[in-house]
């Protein structure tokens, strides 16, 4: 190659490198801009809601809002105490999480490590299909089907619920517990010991479920639209999220750590409880946070099924009484308050939305902290 050709080649190479640098810079800038849109959207939402909510707190203060249970926004003078509404939101959310988290994690463990692969391929899509059902359809089911059942046949429904939920959870507890306890026995006795321990656990769990079902059969329900109705439906709605994310986290733990645990002599129960679950802890924590957020942010179901009574149940943990939630109050009162934009009744709804938004933000921060802590612990830092 001549000297002129070499110079031309070098000039083309320098031009190509500059073009690559420019392309890389434009691509990085574009991706940064797209990623920043979500952050800007969240900041804009915070700004808009806070702008409408702050005038209410400046005029009324925080004491009545957070400490009073008197919610009479159309009275003269109006009263804007949301303590009962906050309590109703907390009660419904805790009830939904109590239903969704244990069932979701247990189902995820069964799908990832206990059931055959062919069964998993058929069951998981059916569970995820629950997430595709519109929330208003869940609300109609809660109002038309579940509410009359709770009011007319509450005892029988509770008894069936105890057996329907208790049997699969009890079977999982027998399998895990017998394997974990048998691991402490000498190797020659483990097989027979596991069978004996499993039999004793099954007898104990069966006796407990029988006593619990008998007690649940005597419960009377005055109104079918109550906190329990909303909690059950919200738990079912959050179940696909918890199952899917938890199962993905358990699968992501990998076969290597399972095989390594088995090679060291651990049983299946020990491997699941002491190796796989800690390794998937961050993913399971994220699943729980997402399930909580699914329950907290739902509107239609709690609006249609909770009874919409601004009261604190007596006792406070009584799920059989009607309650009212933040989301249902915002959705129900916004239509009446819209024609008086700028009034206290309008501003208090944005104050409630701000409380809900701050709570969601804190839950996300708590979930992120839990995930990072779990990762540091697993990495030995």
Asked if residue 71 belongs to a domain, the reply is no
Claim to verify: residue 113 and residue 246 sit in the same structural domain:
yes
pLDDT for position 10: 46
Claim to verify: residue 100 and residue 222 sit in the same structural domain:
yes
Claim to verify: residue 36 and residue 102 sit in the same structural domain:
no
Taking alpha carbons only, the member of 354, 350, 314 closest to residue 330 is 350
pLDDT for position 233: 92
pLDDT for position 380: 54
Taking alpha carbons only, the member of 231, 223, 222 closest to residue 325 is 231
Domain holding 24, by residue range, is 3-60
Claim to verify: residue 314 and residue 364 sit in the same structural domain:
yes
- Annotate 256-267 with b (16+ C-beta within 10 A) or e (fewer): eebeebeeeebb
pTM: 0.80
Asked if residue 51 belongs to a domain, the reply is yes
Asked if residue 372 belongs to a domain, the reply is yes
Q: Is 80 helix (H, G, I), strand (E, B) or coil?
A: strand
- Give the count of domains, the chain: 2
Query: Mean pLDDT of residues grouped by 10 in the chain (381 residues)?
Result: 52 68 81 82 88 88 87 84 91 91 88 81 81 87 88 84 84 78 71 77 88 84 86 91 87 83 80 84 85 87 88 85 90 69 80 90 79 65 56
Residue 185 tokens, joined? 């026995």
Claim to verify: residue 189 and residue 56 sit in the same structural domain:
no
Asked if residue 219 belongs to a domain, the reply is yes
Claim to verify: residue 208 and residue 307 sit in the same structural domain:
yes
Asked if residue 55 belongs to a domain, the reply is yes
Claim to verify: residue 10 and residue 115 sit in the same structural domain:
no
Burial of residue 179, with CB atoms counted within 10 A of its CB: 0-12 exposed, 13-18 middle, 19 or more buried: buried
């Amino acid at each position: 190659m001549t000297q002129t050709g070499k110079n031309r080649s070098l000039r083309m190479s320098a031009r190509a490198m500059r073009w690559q640098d420019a392309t890389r810079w434009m691509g990085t800038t574009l991706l940064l801009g797209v990623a920043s849109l979500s952050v800007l959207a969240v900041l804009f939402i915070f700004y808009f809601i806070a702008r409408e909510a702050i005038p209410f707190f400046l005029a009324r203060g925080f004491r009545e809002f957070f400490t009073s249970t008197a919610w009479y926004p159309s009275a003269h003078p109006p009263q804007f105490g949301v303590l009962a509404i906050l309590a109703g939101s907390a009660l419904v959310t805790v009830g939904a999480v109590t239903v969704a988290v244990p069932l979701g994690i247990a189902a995820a463990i069964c799908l990832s490590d206990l059931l055959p692969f062919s069964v998993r391929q058929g069951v998981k899509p059916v569970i995820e299909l629950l997430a595709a059902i519109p929330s208003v359809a869940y609300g109609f089911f809660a109002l038309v089907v579940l509410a009359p059942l709770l009011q007319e046949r509450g005892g029988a429904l509770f008894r069936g619920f105890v057996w329907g939920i208790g049997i699969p959870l009890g079977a999982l507890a027998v399998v895990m517990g017998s394997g974990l306890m048998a691991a402490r026995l000498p190797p020659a006795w483990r097989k027979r010991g596991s069978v004996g321990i499993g039999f004793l656990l099954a007898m104990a769990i069966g006796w407990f479920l029988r006593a619990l079902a008998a007690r649940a059969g005597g419960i009377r329900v005055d109104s079918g639209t109550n906190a329990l109705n909303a909690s059950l439906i919200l738990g079912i709605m959050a179940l696909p999220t918890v199952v899917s994310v938890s199962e993905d986290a358990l699968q992501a733990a990998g076969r290597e750590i399972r095989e390594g645990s088995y090679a060291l002599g651990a049983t299946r129960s020990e491997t699941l409880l002491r190796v796989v679950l800690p390794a998937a802890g961050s993913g399971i924590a994220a699943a729980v946070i997402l399930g909580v957020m699914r329950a907290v942010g739902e509107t239609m179901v709690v609006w249609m099924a909770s009874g919409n009574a601004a009261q604190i149940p007596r006792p406070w943990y009584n799920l059989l009484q009607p309650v009212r939630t933040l989301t249902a109050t915002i959705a129900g009162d916004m239509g009446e308050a819209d024609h008086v934009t700028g009034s206290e009744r309008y501003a208090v709804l944005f104050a409630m939305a701000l409380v809900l938004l701050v709570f969601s933000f804190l839950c996300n921060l708590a979930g992120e902290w839990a995930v990072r802590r779990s990762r540091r612990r697993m990495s030995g830092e």
